[in-house]
Amino acid sequence: MTVTRLLRDDIHIHAPVEEVRALLLPLAEERYRWLPEAFADRRIDEQALSFRLALPLRSESAVLVLGGDDGRAIEFVASGPSVIRALTWVVNAEGPREVHLIAEAVYEPAGGPIGWLLEMALHRSVRRQALRDALWRLKLVVEGRA
């Protein structure tokens, strides 16, 4: 049985919703420069977002393709076997220059007792920080402060 976990974090951005969405879609290398260093070896093109998430004692590669965009949620899903199963950006306009952005990552933690220990002691917090750093850097770029 495969166990998956969900990480969720959010941020408020002072910019029009269109500007936030423009940095998330379409997929292009220049639009994703705000991703933090934790998303190493990243390659972005119109087909996929791929990267390697460096964790203590472990590295996780992901190739994610656009799975859906309903105007509010932009979902990327794994295109094949991957520890990182999905990455979703939920963009909520709360005013003309006010956006609430939620990031969700679905992943499969390392198995076994050692994997569980690493997940609880190190990996989950490193994953959460990578997600928070991504949100913060996106905020700085779209608000013109980076």
In this structure, what CATH number is given to the domain that contains residue 51?
A: 3.30.530.20
Q: What is the pTM of this model?
A: 0.92
Question: Residue 95 and residue 90: Cα distance in Å, rounded?
Answer: 15
Cβ atoms of 104 and 6 closer than 8 Å: yes
> For the segment 37-92, what is each residue's pLDDT rounded down to a tens digit?
999 999 998 889 999 999 998 999 999 999 999 999 999 999 988 999 999 999 99
Q: Give the model's pLDDT for residue 1.
A: 62
Query: What pLDDT, on a 0 to 100 scale, did the predictor assign at position 113?
Result: 87
> How many structural domains does the chain have?
1
pLDDT band, very low/low/confident/very high, at 122 (cuts 50, 70, 90): very high
Binned at pLDDT 50, 70 and 90, residue 4 comes out as: very high
Domain that holds residue 16: 5-142
Q: Cα separation of 45 and 50, whole Å?
A: 9
